[in-house]
A and B are shown apart, each in its own frame.
Chain A
Amino acid sequence: MLYALLCYNSEAMVADWSPEKDKEVMAHHLAVERRLAEQGKVGPVVRLMPTTTATTIRSGRAPSVIDGPFAETKEQLLGFYLVDCDSLEEAIRVATELGIESGAMEIRPVMHFSDLSNPRGAVGEAAGGADGQNTQARGIQ
């Protein structure tokens, strides 16, 4: 089963992490990602830009384009993982291992996944180690 691990946290707080703290968290995530990649269990991994860069389109008679994130909440969606796990138990283990020191991680089973284009084209060189991940993503059934 494919699961999306959605990482929620207070954006204001994450923005206040010191650069060292940020690096430490990212390094830890990368280590877990690498291990998952070796097992062919990880698809795209995405860290989103701050919600201040977000634009939301609301339905209506004429759909309106609104600045800002979808909803004003205390915790924002900051990024997500796509992982291939045998069970919810395993997905919970992976999420826990990635670390939920603050904020929350939502585990959502994936209904449909298609990878029609090479996501690298869109991501460019931004994601370090994207190479291995994408090969793995395509390997996901």
Chain B
Amino acid sequence: MTDIAWIDAAISAARPQAIAALLRYFRNLDTAEEAFQEACLRALNHWTTNGPPRDPAAWLIFVARNFALDEARRGKRHESLTDEAAIPDTQTAETDMAERLDNAHYRDDILRLLFICCHPDLPSTQQIALALRIVSGLTVQEIARAFLVSESAMEQRITRAKRRVAAAQVPFEAPGAAERQERLQTVAAMIYLLFNEGYSASGGEVHVRVPLCEEAIRLARLLLRLFPGEPEIMGLTALLLLQHSRAAARLDENGQIVLLEDQDRSLWNRELINEGFALIEKALRHWRPGPYQIQAAIAAVHARAMKPEDTDWAEIDQLYGVLEQIQPSPVVTLNRAVAVSKVRGPAAALQLIEPLEPQLANYFHFYGVRGAFLVQLGRKQEARVDFDRAISLAHTAAEAAHIRMHIDRLMQEGQTSVAC
């Protein structure tokens, strides 16, 4: 007797490899998905009575492939499905299959699958939705809930993505070295976006969507297993682990945002932090710095500080300086300004971000951060204007509430100073 939790874990772990291999055989996402679905149903029956197979992925691929071939032969006429008892000696066939599957196609299959989901013709929202559906195997309903759209809208989004992929005629052969590198970066970017979507939701009532973060971490780990020697993938995984380690401390019991310096650091997940440290340490040995590694290094500086006042802001300032050079962006500079305010004071920080306003005129965090600097400088009127603007740009209720708290504090301080 094999327990359901085991089967569940075995199926979801086998899914990327199985779908990827089936896609290589059938070159059609729908066929691959349908066949895998069928194989899962049979696994549920077969494994519970006959015990677990030696290699769940190989078993699923074998059964799914046979099912799809049968379907094709039958020309989709509806007849009763073959009972898996009719498949002669699944164990032997599966063992055989497992030998051939070993490492030979594994990496390229999964990479191709991920890349298909990240096809450059697809907008990033469709990329993420497709990856969650195809690679992660979330249901349309789950994905719709995560993105706060209706199920039918999400269904449509995924169907449209699939159609585009089919029309784009993605090549199915193994990618060359240069192309593989390029694909890897696209996939990494998709995983990063997926995590961000979970880390600070782009809309709605819920500010943090833990399942999306967890799924992104799972995919990052998968990618790292496929490319164990890529420092940027180590950096990406480390970054996600370190950011996610704070999940339990980032919101209070009322769902309000708790700033880094006010967080209860005992709630930070030390296991994730230590794994992140181990990965970033390994990555830095390669001397090939990249944006993910540097962001992970910044997150690591925060994670290392047991108390907010222990934070090495000078190092954070330096790391952001490096990041500005390899990936110049006003958002990076804005983040650096926070470190600068700690090291050299709010006036220097304000000076750094003033020129960014035209580029960040619609960016919630710009006004939140500038407002905070202005408060520190005692320029309360101007701060109030920035906070009001931030509220109008807030994406989630938690963001708006957080700024409102700042304003309340400003008002109270205003009253006390008048009273004195």
- A residues at B contact (CB < 8 Å): 10-18, 21, 49-53, 55, 65-69, 72, 74, 101-102, 126
Q: Judge whether B52 and A13 touch: CB under 8 Å.
A: no
Within 8 A of A (CB), among B226-244: 228-229, 234, 237
Contact of A17 among B9, B229, B237 (CB under 8 A): B9
Contact of A16 among B3, B218, B282 (CB under 8 A): B218
| Bound-complex Cα distance A49 to B271 (A) | 9
| Bound-complex Cα distance A50 to B103 (A) | 19
Residues in chain A near residue B167, CB distance under 8 A:
none
What is the CB-to-nearest-CB distance from A9 to chain B, in angstroms, rounded to a whole number?
10
Known contacts: A16-B218, A74-B55, A101-B6. The answer to whether A49 contacts B275 by CB under 8 A is: yes
Q: Judge whether A16 and B224 touch: CB under 8 Å.
A: no
Known contacts: A15-B221, A74-B55, A101-B3. The answer to whether A49 contacts B274 by CB under 8 A is: yes
- B200 at the A interface (CB under 8 A): no
- For B, the interface residue count at a CB cutoff of 8 angstroms equals 30
Q: Judge whether A15 and B13 touch: CB under 8 Å.
A: yes
Q: Judge whether A52 and B221 touch: CB under 8 Å.
A: yes
Q: Judge whether B6 and A102 touch: CB under 8 Å.
A: yes
A-B CB contacts (within 8 Å), total count: 62
Q: Judge whether A12 and B278 touch: CB under 8 Å.
A: no
What is the CB-to-nearest-CB distance from A66 to chain B, in angstroms, rounded to a whole number?
7
Instruction: Jot down 8 A-B pairs with beta carbons below 8 A, ordered by A.
Output: A12-B225, A16-B13, A17-B9, A49-B278, A50-B221, A69-B228, A102-B10, A126-B274
What is the CB-to-nearest-CB distance from A102 to chain B, in angstroms, rounded to a whole number?
6
Residues in chain A near residue B279, CB distance under 8 A:
52-53
Contact of A52 among B12, B103, B228 (CB under 8 A): B228
Q: Judge whether B221 and A16 touch: CB under 8 Å.
A: no
Residues in chain B near residue A21, CB distance under 8 A:
5, 9
